[in-house]
């Protein structure tokens, strides 16, 4: 009976999850090779050459990877730090409710908040002007649509950090880390040794697949970099959509090239992540 339900579940997963994904991927691949699409007239690797030689994709991929990495390092780092300091207080109902709030905000709303707060005409700029720290709107630094992606990183962190904080607090409880810390103290560990050898490694050990998946998610984020990013380099999803929406129909094929490369890279990363997990479980 159980096997029957499992088979039905697998069938649903294949029909709803794998088949549409696979078909879309095949369509994108054929489009990128000139085999389908209104402006295409047969097999060509011209679009691939164009993308790989222009360097825009590499730049965009590097920029996306860097933005996602910095945002993850800050989010996980701050969440760990807050967990170590306040794990008992954060379990309080009101505080944990406040932490859930940012998780309910769509990315586009967070990005608009960031514009209202960080732009040259935003709240910070106005407050600084009122207290006399700046004399002109131009003196306020570029915090959105800037070269370093400051606005993107800050908004990513504001969305992702509460999630990891709640996750770490949950793991702290379920993995009985407080008791393991007492045990480590009883075995002679000093407080800093306990944090270095037990608390942080254990929290990361239990959550690293989610950290890696969130990294992949940020790599493909769209709304936040669309609103807060600059013209060039753009993050991958923004670049792909820009290419797909061009008036020049030949550019659509280039958009599909980027989408194919991005999909392959993300799939490899995900497979590596889960195959490694499996091998750890088997080999110990």
Residue 210, C-beta contacts closer than 8 angstroms, at least 6 positions apart: 167
CA atoms within 13 Å, Cβ hemisphere of 276: 9
Among 193, 232, 246, 267, binds other proteins (CB under 8 A): 193
- Residues 203-242, one symbol each (x = binds other proteins by CB under 8 A, - = not), give --xx------------------------------------
Nearer to other proteins, 205 or 276 (CB): 205
List the one residue from 62, 106, 201, 209 that touches other proteins (CB under 8 A): 201
Taking the least distance from each CB to other proteins, the nearer of 136 and 179 is 179
> What burial class does residue 269 get, using C-beta atoms within 10 Å of its C-beta: 0-12 exposed, 13-18 middle, 19+ buried?
middle
Neighbours of 197 (CB within 10 A): 12
Specify burial of residue 146 (Cβ count, 10 A radius: 0-12, 13-18, 19+).
middle
User: By CB under 8 A, which span of 38-46, 158-166, 199-207, 249-257 interacts with other proteins?
Assistant: 199-207
Instruction: Rule CB under 8 A: say whether 202 interacts with other proteins.
Output: yes
Would you say 181 and 194 are in contact if contact means Cβ atoms under 8 Å apart?
yes
Is residue 132 a contact point for other proteins (CB under 8 A)? no
Task: Tell me: does residue 278 bind other proteins (CB under 8 A).
Answer: no
164: CB partners within 8 A, 6+ apart:
75, 76, 79, 80, 207, 211, 214
- Candidate residues 197, 245, 276, 278; the one interacting with other proteins per rule CB under 8 A: 197
* 188 touches other proteins by CB under 8 A: yes
Contact string 73-112 vs other proteins (x = CB under 8 A): ----------------------------------------
């Amino acid at each position: 009976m159980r096997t029957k339900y499992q088979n039905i579940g697998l069938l649903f997963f294949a029909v709803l999850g794998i088949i549409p994904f696979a078909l879309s991927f095949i369509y994108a691949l054929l489009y990128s090779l000139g085999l389908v699409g209104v402006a295409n007239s047969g097999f060509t690797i011209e679009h691939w050459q164009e993308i790989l030689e222009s360097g825009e994709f590499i730049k965009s991929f590097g920029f996306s990877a860097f933005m996602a990495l910095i945002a993850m390092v800050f989010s996980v780092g701050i969440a760990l730090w807050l967990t170590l300091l306040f794990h008992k207080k954060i379990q309080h109902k009101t505080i944990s409710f406040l932490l859930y709030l940012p998780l309910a905000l769509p990315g586009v709303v967070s990005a608009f908040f960031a514009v209202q707060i960080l732009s040259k005409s935003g709240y910070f700029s106005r407050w600084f002007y009122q207290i006399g720290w700046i004399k002109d709107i131009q003196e306020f630094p570029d915090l959105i649509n800037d070269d370093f992606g400051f606005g993107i990183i800050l908004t990513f962190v504001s969305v992702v950090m509460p999630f990891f904080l709640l996750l770490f607090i949950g793991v702290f409880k379920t993995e009985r880390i407080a008791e393991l810390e007492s045990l480590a103290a009883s075995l002679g560990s000093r407080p800093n040794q306990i944090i270095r050898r037990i608390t942080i490694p254990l929290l990361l050990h239990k959550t690293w697949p989610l950290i890696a998946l969130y990294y992949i998610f940020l790599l493909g984020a769209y709304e936040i970099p669309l609103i807060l990013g600059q013209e060039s380099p753009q993050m991958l999803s923004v670049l792909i959509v820009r290419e797909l929406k061009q008036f020049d129909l030949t550019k659509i094929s280039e958009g599909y090239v980027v989408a194919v490369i991005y999909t392959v890279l993300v799939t490899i990363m995900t497979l590596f992540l889960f195959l490694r997990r499996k091998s750890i479980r088997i080999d110990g």
